[in-house]
Structure 1
Amino acid sequence: MCRRCQTGLPNAEKRPRLKLKALNWKEDKHNGRFIISLKRIAFCLDHPGRHALSAAAGLVGAIIFGFLISMIHALVSIRFQADQVVSGVAINILAVGLTGFLLQFIFKTSGNSPSVPSLPAMPIPLLSKIPVLGDIFFNQSPIVYIALLAVPLSAFVLFRTPLGLRIRAVGEHPKAADTVGINVFKLRYLGVGLSGILGGLGGAYLSIGQLNIFTEGMTNGRGYIALAAVIFGKWNPWGALGACLLFGFADAIQISLQNAGVNIPSDFLLMLPYILTLIALAGFIGRSRPPAAAGAPYEK
């Protein structure tokens, strides 16, 4: 049975990217930072993933570049206290031009890169043989497993460890955290850096996990859907996972309907995940409370 047609659960071939991005939105917001450039961080990281000599090297390159790009945002918004929305938009614009330029400079082409090897699927013995669910969850790219493991790990760190308590304190009341000796700036840099790494993994999955090609604009707004997933999930890793599964289900539905040749305009079907995002935000954004100091620069 076709993997895309088996179930609409997480559309496992695509949603690890969304889950990783939702998790790094969440990690970053808990310490008070807000990376609106996350979509373009992942977009930038699609490119080094494509140009690497091997898929493994591309994955490492994506992680490194994701961290470096996030540190640019951190430096501007934490050290120089610039408006982080402005900083994020600037990185978005930079990424659009930079990826297009690198595509032409390195591959001597525009639009799409040449095809290169992608990360192979790693089936888990026994579990991958479970009917329907086994192929969806246990016969996937290594990045899928990282995305799935990142959810309980993030929840444990944030809500069950002293480090998580400090991160949440920095996001809720940085002045009080600073008063008791917590290094606010260090933890915010840490949060932004982890966000960049996860964003890099998400970008790498799209180009060398799901596909084996880089295409300009291939993120297609999913970074903003990841933000919606965090809001819809009430800033909790498990809630964000549930929201990603819901949005992934909508994406899987539109793909299945197109494959089935349903007499509905394809443009309308492509709108389904985004329509669901708007509905979710309209119903939950007022009841989902972010960390109190999210987006606010901190001065000693």
Structure 2
Amino acid sequence: MSQDLSVSPASAAPAGRQRGARSRWRFVSIAVAAFVALAGVRAITGQPMLTSAGTIQATLAFAVPIGLAGLGGLWAERAGIINIGLEGMMVLGTWFGAYFAWSFESPWAGLLAGVLGGMAGGLIHAVATVTFGVDHIVSGVAINILAVGAMRYLSLLFFQGAPGGGAAQSPQLPEFPRIGLPFVADALAPARESGIFLVADTASLIVGTTTGMSVVTLLAILLAPLTFLVLWHTPFGLRLRSCGENPDAAESLGVPVYTYKFTAVVLSGGFAGMGGVFLAMVASSVYQEGQTGGRGYIGLAAMIFGNWRPGGLAMGAGLFGFTDALQVRGGGGAVHALLLLIAAALLVAAVLMLAAALRRTRGTSAFTATAGLCAVFAGGAAVAALGGAVAVTGGAAWWWAVTALGAAAAAAAALQTVRTWPEAAGSLPASALVAAPAGVVVLLWYLGTDSLPGQLVTYSPHIATLLVLALASQRLRPPANVGRQWRRGHA
């Protein structure tokens, strides 16, 4: 007698909701933990720029175009189309947004035109990849190259000779209105100036996100949860995602796969075009050639970091925007202080991966004991390092006691780890073997230096991109059919 192994929708739905709830809480907990860690580094190192209101506002300014480009990539790749052409579509958004805002003297006309310009680039990419079956990478690179040349030609036609304009830039553009709560800054001024751990940082965060925000920034922030609701909580989103996972099965159920792919790629271009408008009219007040600066590619990196989900994408965009904000504001000391945070993150990641390997090899009871000691090891090592740093720089004597206790706990946990290491080494991922020594090197780097070279500070966003992608590579789960050519009726 055959056994029915199918799962009913009624039983599958609660499980799906539970996984979704866990995923949302995981993103929230990671974001809160990152902010608390950043506040701790600010309190230890005395670098107020790390969490100041100005840094928060600059982070938003740099994160929004990256996030919009990442949302464009998410929509396209969830439908199975790789959109390397996001950079070119952002270029289209910058130029068309600037031209129509200048012509009509209205920022809203520029926003609409920029979005439509990006959608036109998305339409070209959709025709090439979906209709004619052109390789996705080839089509995207072609759009990037053609967009730059075409916008240069149009600038020569329309901007050269205009007051303040030229072959590589537009005249002055009208600005979008800004919104905020003006009384918040004054009310939270005492808390911001107190320097108290987490209190001053939270006050700066509130002031930075409620003062002088452009309406385009607010719209862009709202697009992330809206994307989540549409793609994961509507029949339209389910069908669109099915086109990226298994288009043959979707076609067999009556889903018009070509239509959904076209829709996703065109909307992808619209998001990128909106990011271009932000660069030309919010982050700046003129269109300039080369204004995108590779943010379309960084947006794709943020999307990959976020594992093709809006919450993770927003975290990735915030990370890249934060490092950008620090280096643009001249925060060399703040970037140096981040070495401490990076070292702690690498060491904790290595310990967690070791604990997971021990769990697979020794069972739950052994895992519980060893994981607890590993946690003590991580905390002890961090306390030892931080206590030593503060004591060397003239801290109170009680820091030496904390340092000694942390070092003793670290030694005890290290002995336990060495004892159980042979059984876990076989299942330990390669990234753990890289993260642990890298964390030690970064920690020694921080303790042995007072500042970073200016060139390294300038390229800190790109270094952060490489580090994040390297550490996240083993947990990525892209749509199953992304990047593959699909033809109707070939199931």
TM-score, normalisation: structure 1: 0.92
TM superposition shift of 1:135: 4.4
Counterpart Cα distance in 1 of 2:77 and 2:303: 10
Alignment-mate amino acid for residue 6 of structure 1? A
TM superposition shift of 1:244: 0.8
The aligned residue for residue 42 of structure 1 is 90
Is the counterpart of residue 33 in structure 1 residue 81 in structure 2? yes
Q: Which residue of 256, 259, 271 maps to 1:198?
A: 271
TM-score, normalisation: structure 2: 0.57
> Cα deviation per residue 1:19-65 (whole Å; 9 max; x = unaligned)?
11111111111110111010110012101111223211111111111
The aligned residue for residue 157 of structure 2 is 105
Q: Could you tell me whether the CA contact under 8 Å between 1:234 and 1:290 is conserved in 2?
A: yes
Q: Could you tell me whether the CA contact under 8 Å between 1:41 and 1:200 is conserved in 2?
A: yes
Alignment-mate amino acid for residue 118 of structure 1? E
Distance change >3 Å, CA 201–CA 181, structure 1 → 2: same
Counterpart Cα distance in 2 of 1:84 and 1:174: 17
Counterpart Cα distance in 2 of 1:161 and 1:261: 43
TM superposition shift of 1:128: 7.8
The aligned residue for residue 208 of structure 2 is 136
Is the counterpart of residue 291 in structure 1 residue 479 in structure 2? yes
Q: Could you tell me whether the CA contact under 8 Å between 1:229 and 1:240 is conserved in 2?
A: yes
Q: Could you tell me whether the CA contact under 8 Å between 1:16 and 1:143 is conserved in 2?
A: no
The aligned residue for residue 152 of structure 1 is 225
Q: Could you tell me whether the CA contact under 8 Å between 2:332 and 2:452 is conserved in 1?
A: no
Distance change >3 Å, CA 100–CA 151, structure 1 → 2: same
Runs of 4+ in 1 over 6 A off after TM superposition: 125-130, 259-263
Q: Secondary structure at the match of 1:188?
A: helix
Identity of aligned residues (%): 34
The aligned residue for residue 214 of structure 1 is 287
TM superposition shift of 1:270: 2.5
> Cα deviation per residue 1:212-251 (whole Å; 9 max; x = unaligned)?
1111111111111111111111111001001111111111
Identify which of structures 1 and 2 has the higher relative contact order when contacts are C-alpha pairs closer than 8 Å and 6+ apart.
Answer: 1
**Which of 115-124 and 274-283 deviates more?**
115-124
Q: Which residue of 130, 135, 142 maps to 1:90?
A: 142
TM superposition shift of 1:123: 2.4
Is the counterpart of residue 24 in structure 1 residue 96 in structure 2? no
Counterpart Cα distance in 2 of 1:127 and 1:51: 36
Counterpart Cα distance in 1 of 2:156 and 2:454: 30
The aligned residue for residue 311 of structure 2 is 238
The aligned residue for residue 13 of structure 1 is 61
Q: Secondary structure at the match of 1:13?
A: helix
TM superposition shift of 1:116: 2.1
Q: Which residue of 460, 474, 483 maps to 1:272?
A: 460
Is the counterpart of residue 184 in structure 1 residue 253 in structure 2? no
Q: Unaligned stretches of 5+ in structure 1?
A: none
Alignment-mate amino acid for residue 282 of structure 1? A
Counterpart Cα distance in 2 of 1:208 and 1:227: 22
Alignment-mate amino acid for residue 80 of structure 1? F
Q: Could you tell me whether the CA contact under 8 Å between 2:333 and 2:452 is conserved in 1?
A: no
Q: Could you tell me whether the CA contact under 8 Å between 1:8 and 1:250 is conserved in 2?
A: no
Distance change >3 Å, CA 47–CA 125, structure 1 → 2: same
| Matched length | 299
Alignment-mate amino acid for residue 200 of structure 1? G
TM superposition shift of 1:159: 1.5
The aligned residue for residue 329 of structure 2 is 256
**Which of 105-114 and 172-181 deviates more?**
105-114
Q: Which residue of 89, 103, 121 maps to 2:178?
A: 121
Q: Could you tell me whether the CA contact under 8 Å between 2:332 and 2:454 is conserved in 1?
A: no
TM superposition shift of 1:298: 1.1
Counterpart Cα distance in 1 of 2:243 and 2:452: 49
The aligned residue for residue 440 of structure 2 is none
> Cα deviation per residue 1:60-108 (whole Å; 9 max; x = unaligned)?
1111111111101100100001001100000000011112222222111
The aligned residue for residue 131 of structure 2 is 79
TM superposition shift of 1:260: 8.4
In our comparison, the structure showing a higher alpha carbon Rg is 2
Counterpart Cα distance in 2 of 1:20 and 1:48: 17
TM superposition shift of 1:261: 12
**Which of 80-89 and 133-142 deviates more?**
133-142
The aligned residue for residue 422 of structure 2 is none
Counterpart Cα distance in 1 of 2:294 and 2:77: 19
Distance change >3 Å, CA 261–CA 137, structure 1 → 2: closer
Q: Could you tell me whether the CA contact under 8 Å between 1:37 and 1:92 is conserved in 2?
A: yes
Counterpart Cα distance in 1 of 2:169 and 2:333: 27
Distance change >3 Å, CA 190–CA 124, structure 1 → 2: farther
